[in-house]
Amino acid sequence: MYKICMRILQERQVSACECVFRLCHLKMRDSSRECIFLNTRKADQRCRVIRFDELGRGVGYCANIFSRYENRPLQHPSYDFEHMTLMEFAMLFKPYYSKDSADLEEGVDEDAYNERPQGRLQLIQLQDRTKMSIRTFAAVVRFPHFVMETDPENYFYSLLLQYVPFRSEAELLCGFNSAKEAFLAREEQLRRNSVRMEEYRQRDKALELAFTRVHALQMLEEPDAALLPEERDVVAQEENTVEDMMTDEEFELACRALNSGQRDVVNRITRSIQDQLAGGCRRERLFITGGAGTGKTFLLKVLKNQIDRCYGEFRDLH
């Protein structure tokens, strides 16, 4: 591509297309939504920017989204900050920086990347007297991807950080030995917060998926359970009418109806999936047979639902 030299502040190579875009005052990039990345690892695994005074001495850390969230207002007429989660806070607000006189001269890329604000910004004041501006449109929030089987601590901690309101991050694991324990202990609270954020259903699916998978793998830790005879009869009568994908209640009832042999098969498959998700290469090969009425079809339906849950392919049925 043909390039020309132009001198703007400092000499640099600029492509012909960029020159055309600048001369025509066209945007170099545009998006209907802003995107923000939240590093939801544990605090000791995150980097922070040191703040220096005029003498070059380190005097603390620069503010980030986590510290700003902890300093959110106690009350506000338009927002329920007491029950607001970190994810919702990041979606709705962004840092506000007053423009100093030294920053009045625009840089070479100012017109390319910074859109001029339309109208007056709406601000909120945090407890430490700093300010945040209210976004016109909710931002898209991105998080690191953690795998539950290989990194369970960061996987569950990330979800806690996103969905549990806190004033100090230390509250998340207070009284618990692991992030998984804290996650399961707060299941009802997490589900309530998920319902509260109805407009952000895409993120709620990720939370629902986490509960589905962790409960599916918990099957290996539970003792054998059996139904009462009258309950087993009900399951047998409804066996032919059960859909391929069961609801949580139907699946729990079906698992309790398994006999010892059927449960051994389900546990064996679940354990194999757990090993594969952790990086194992071994694959199970089973041949299931039996006479009429022994529960082959019922077992296969339970296995299909358990596999979908373990691999995270559970569909939203509600």
Residue range 48-82, pLDDT digits in tens:
889 898 888 888 889 999 999 999 999 899 999 99
The single-letter code of the amino acid at 284 is E
- Tens-digit pLDDT profile for residues 182-226: 999 988 888 877 776 665 655 556 666 777 777 776 666 665 554
pLDDT at 142 over 90: no
The reported pTM is: 0.60
Residue 41 has what pLDDT?
92
**Structural contact between residues 16 and 24, judged by C-beta atoms closer than 8 angstroms:** no
> And the tokens for 149?
């089987």
Distance CA 23, CA 18 (A): 9
Following CA atoms 274, 276, 279, 283 in sequence, which dihedral angle do they give, to the nearest 10 degrees? 140
Q: How far apart are CA 163 and CA 184, in angstroms?
A: 13
d(CA 215, CA 211): 6
Look-up: residue for tokens 């300010």?
A: 131
CA pair distance 236, 214, nearest whole angstrom = 27
In eight-state DSSP terms, residue 12 is E
- Measure CA of the first residue to CA of the last residue in the chain; give whole Å: 54
CB under 8 Å, gap of 24 or more: what pairs does 2-6 form?
A: none
| Cα 93 to Cα 97: distance, rounded to the nearest angstrom | 13
Which CB contacts under 8 angstroms, 24+ apart, belong to 169-177?
169/43, 169/66, 169/70
Residue 127 pLDDT grade (very low, low, confident, very high; cuts 50, 70, 90): very high
pLDDT for residue 235 is more than 70: no
For residue 113, what is the enclosing H or E element?
helix 110-113
Most confidently modeled range among 206-210, 212-216, 269-273, 312-316: 269-273
DSSP state letters, 208-268: HHHHHHHHHHGGGGSPP----HHHHHHHHHHGGG--SSPPHHHHHHHHHT--HHHHHHHHH
Cβ–Cβ under 8 Å, residues 306 and 266 = yes
- Relative to beta strand 10-15, strand 3-8 is antiparallel
Residue 14: predicted pLDDT:
77
